[in-house]
A and B are shown apart, each in its own frame.
Chain A
Amino acid sequence: MDSGLIIEKLILVAIIFSISLLIAMYATYFERKVAAWFQDRIGPDRAGPFGILQPLADGVKMFMKEDFIPSNSDKWLFILGPGISMFTSLITSAIIPWGEDLTMFGSTVALQVADFNIGILFIMGVLSVGIYGIMIGGWASNNKYSLFGAIRASSQMISYELAMGVSVITIVMMTGSLSLRDIVQDQHGMNWNIFYQPVCFIVFFVCALAETNRAPFDLPECESELIGGYHTEYSSMKLGFFLFAEYVSMFISSAIIAILFFGGYNFPGMDYFSGNTLAILSVIAFFTKIFFFIFVFMWIRWTLPRFRFDQLMHLGWKNLIPIALINLLITGLVIALNKGWF
């Protein structure tokens, strides 16, 4: 492996890392603003013009708070919890293709840190590890509410991961590849998967809401019943990590939804451009889609009330999984018929 490639990848990693953090940071600000707009309020507007320094103020506040570890907690696991949450949220961004190839200094730069041929499988795996952060954190707190939150989180994740996995398989069957880049390139121009798989999209979207612990599926942190759930005992930047991880994973989920169903960095009329113009436009198109889905996530949060836990399980096991399975079956049949296997 030549050193140029390593440097190129390192720079890309640094850029993507900081962009993820920046977007997550401003997602917290934007969430408060969107909530305010939906409720006919103004929202944070004191720190800087339009309150754009609010995330910095929040960050400073988080760091200044007392870092408290309960005496009866399992100290190392207590510290490990938020770390795992944050790590797993960030690591998924490594395999997301951000745009068409860029030509710089005479070499072609792929705007993707690593093109795994099992990309989507990697994401599903990392998402499943992400639950350990919440589970370990909730368990190590030695608090009943935290434990309840952690148990809810893990059961919710297990139930929704199944339906999510099945809907991802549907897309993989259509593309014939697990690589995210192949999935994106298969949806060239306006040939997006959403037009072929609307049911699959709805299932995946609902599961993504549940996987990121967003309303209406935010039962693990349910303030009104569980006093914050798994992060009841957390304070200072450990709490910050948990909250931040939610926003990072919201960003990543939006990216994955855009990739799987809305053509990733493809945009209509992309054949008229080429070279670096195309690369930059494709990145812009991709981020527009991501921001739209982050907005939808927030929109749903401030519209729908929280589910009851049995309703959540009912929806997951009795509705979403059968729908996803039937959808998978029909897709399989159509593909088989198209290929003339019968």
Chain B
Amino acid sequence: MQSLSNRKKVVSDKPMTFMEKIYLPAILGGMWITFKHLFRKNNTTKYPEEQRVFAPVYRGMHVLKRDEQGRENCTACGLCAVACPAEAITMEAAERVKGEEGLYREEKYAATYEINMLRCIFCGLCEEACPKEAIFLTDRIVPSEFERDEFVFGKDKLVEPMNARIDVTKRQHTGQRGTK
């Protein structure tokens, strides 16, 4: 039959020659191959000290963004929780009162916002669902913990701090979503 992939190989079942039967040349050949690996550069990334460079589309730990004035973008609409296939997101909404205009961008905000990192599958659907560009998946890694309940991340861990803003411009599609 004609080969379609040009990778067809004819397999033969020849009896082994004497040199093949004593195995020693093959063993020495194998040892030579492993020996060459002794002098090769290793592929290890020493993780806590050095970190691999992630692709711009890498989906890691979430961040709840603030806008330029430092107000939280999230309005607790719940679309991310609806979109979440793993049901990892829960939130409680609250109304903004007078004097909180500097904290929250719109009249409604998330009083609590929790993501269970053990349930999360880092699919990024929350980010896609968000109409306010409030939640993004970043290139940060979720740190390991000893207890399960420590993996439920609240606003204290999710909202970006004012003094250490997290750059998500690589993942922002401004103009395409029609919000800003």
Binding site for B on A (CB under 8 A): 36-42, 202, 299-300, 302-304
Contacts and interface: CB of A to CB of B under 8 A. Distances in A.
Interface in B10-35: 24, 27, 30-31, 33-35
Given A37-B37, A202-B24, A42 B42 contact: yes
Contacts of B46: 42
Nearest to A302: B34
B173 interface: no
A222 to B, nearest CB: 20
B30 A303 contact: yes
Contacts of A303: 27, 30-31, 33-34
Contact of A299 (B24, B35, B40, B44): B35
A92 B64 CA distance: 68
B41 interface: yes
A40 B43 contact: yes
Contact of B37 (A40, A42, A202, A304): A40
Given A202-B24, A304-B27, A39 B37 contact: yes
Nearest to A36: B42
Given A299-B34, A299-B35, A40 B40 contact: yes
B41 A40 contact: yes
A37 B38 contact: yes
Given A202-B24, A299-B31, A38 B37 contact: yes
Contact of B42 (A40, A302, A304): A40
Contacts of A39: 37
A202 B22 CA distance: 12
19 contacts: A37-B37, A37-B38, A38-B34, A38-B37, A38-B38, A40-B37, A40-B41, A40-B42, A41-B42, A41-B44, A42-B42, A42-B44, A42-B46, A202-B24, A299-B31, A299-B34, A299-B35, A303-B30, A303-B34
Interface of B: 24, 27, 30-31, 33-35, 37-38, 40-44, 46
Contacts of B43: 40-41
Given A42-B42, A299-B35, 13 more contacts: A38-B34, A38-B37, A38-B38, A39-B37, A40-B43, A202-B24, A299-B31, A302-B34, A303-B27, A303-B33, A303-B34, A304-B27, A304-B30
Contacts of A302: 34
A39 B34 CA distance: 8
A279 B27 CA distance: 37
A14 B46 CA distance: 40
A41 B44 CA distance: 6
Contacts of A36: 42
Contacts of B37: 37-40
A-B pairs, 4 with minimum CB distance: A303-B34, A42-B44, A40-B42, A38-B34
Nearest to A45: B46
A78 to B, nearest CB: 34
A223 B37 CA distance: 25
Contacts of A202: 24
Contacts of A304: 27, 30
Nearest to B37: A38
Nearest to B42: A40
Nearest to B24: A202
A302 B34 CA distance: 8
Nearest to A300: B31
A311 to B, nearest CB: 11
A145 to B, nearest CB: 29
Nearest to B40: A40
A302 B40 CA distance: 16
A36 B44 CA distance: 10
Contacts of A38: 34, 37-38
Contacts of B31: 299-300, 303
